[in-house]
Amino acid sequence: MAEAVVHLDGEAAMLGLGRRIAGHARIGDVIALEGGLGAGKTTLVRGLLEALGLEGEAPSPSFAIVQPYDVPEVRLPVAHVDLYRLDDAAEAEELALGDYLMDSLLIIEWPDRLGDALWPHALRLSIDFAGDDARRLTADVPDAWTERWSQI
């Protein structure tokens, strides 16, 4: 497990990072996104989805807790999960998120709602504000991502 810090100046930089991550993502991966409201979590996911062929399918703020994207045009099936409205870890268990690992890339916003129950191979990205339009992203890079992250 290594830590990497990325400075992202403007929304376009965040979209670009999402796009580059998409180029290395595989079925069974977990990408966990931490950061307060407006940090840019969904923006990163938007870049990622676009790169996978899901242009115009940008996640809406009111989407269901689990939004699966498994349409013909997608290069890699994705389950996008936003746990913001979740009350407790018991409720999270009912979502059976692990089932998505079999055939999709799993992206989780607000993973802290799961308690400590995050997969050890998850790529954990934590976003902090660094001025109006800038963000500092800290990546906890697990072994499964070391090689790939060095190319991002």
Identity of the residue, 60 or 151, whose beta carbon is nearer to Mg ion in the bound complex: 60
Is residue 34 within 8 Å of residue 62, measured between CB atoms? no
Q: Does 40 bind ligand ADP (CB under 6 A)?
A: yes
Q: Does 42 bind ligand ADP (CB under 6 A)?
A: yes
Classify burial at 7, counting beta carbons within 10 Å of its beta carbon; exposed 0-12, middle 13-18, buried 19 or more: exposed
Interface pick for Mg ion out of 41, 46, 80, 135 (rule CB under 5 A): 41
Count of residues that bind ligand ADP according to CB under 6 A: 16
Q: Where are the alpha helices (DSSP H) in 39-81?
A: 41-51
Rounded to a whole number of angstroms, the minimum distance from the CB of residue 46 to ligand ADP is 7
Rounded to a whole number of angstroms, the minimum distance from the CB of residue 102 to ligand ADP is 26
Q: Does 115 bind ligand ADP (CB under 6 A)?
A: no
Taking alpha carbons only, the member of 23, 64, 62, 58 closest to residue 43 is 58
Interface pick for ligand ADP out of 35, 52, 83, 122 (rule CB under 6 A): 35
What phi and psi, each to the nearest 5 degrees, are found at residue 87? -90, -45
Looking at residue 19, its amino acid is R
What residues line the site for ligand ADP (CB under 6 A)? 8, 10-11, 13-14, 35, 37-43, 133-135
